[in-house]
Amino acid sequence: MRSREYASAAEVLIPLSRRTDKPLRRRGYWLTLGGVLAAAVIGLGFYGYDQLKGETQRLQAELALLTTRLQSANAGLDALNRPAEGLKVNRIVVLNPGAETIASKGLAYIVADDKGAHLIVQAESLPELQKDQAVQVWLFKDNQPRNAGHFYPQGGNGAIYFAPDPGEYDSLSITVEPDVKGDKPRGVVLLAAGLKS
């Protein structure tokens, strides 16, 4: 009976060892796979960190450049928005009617300040306008017109301010235009004058 006990114990031990051996091999496989995956994740983390760090540095440099440009633009805007100082009237030009039947009259002021030369045109006794009409101011250089802006008179009076240097132009005229879409005079000349002294 004893031999039988030993035999059954041996029979029992062999299958147990086989059973315990497989989980150990599986455990080793999973540990190895887990280690490889952990190393891959850590490697990708370092690679991603280096990439992110490089991209962050590039974006910080770009932000610094844009900040500098914005500060420069804001300084320029501050200078533009600052009121002009030291306005001085350099010359006053009397505007003459375009025809004997026109009762309008006006003046053109050529002025200068710390921002440059400007033109202020003031007119009175202007005719009443129809639906889409506007009073248009034109500056001429070598007989080529430049639109200096338009206005709508109130009670027959109106004025306009033009920033580019009026000394660059030969003459000025004020017309009544059918609309504000023209790039050259089409209407009746109300007032005109030469700008050269």
- Taking the C-alpha atoms of residue 186 and residue 196, their distance in angstroms, rounded to an integer, is 24
CA dist 47 to 20, 44, 50, 51, 185, Å?
Answer: 40, 5, 5, 6, 69
Q: Calculate mean pLDDT across residues 108-137.
A: 90
Site of tokens 């928005």: 81
Q: Tell if the pTM clears 0.75, that is, is over it.
A: no
pLDDT at residue 5, rounded to an integer: 53
- Taking the C-alpha atoms of residue 112 and residue 120, their distance in angstroms, rounded to an integer, is 11
Q: Calculate mean pLDDT across residues 29-35.
A: 76
Confidence class for position 173, pLDDT limits 50, 70, 90: very high
Any idea what the Cα angle at residue 62 is, between residues 60 and 66, rounded to 5°? 115
- Bigger pLDDT: 45 or 174? 174
Q: Is 134 exposed, middle or buried (0-12, 13-18, 19+ CB in 10 A)?
A: buried
Q: What is the pLDDT of residues 126-154, one digit of tens each?
A: 999 998 999 999 999 999 999 999 999 99
pLDDT at residue 84, rounded to an integer: 66
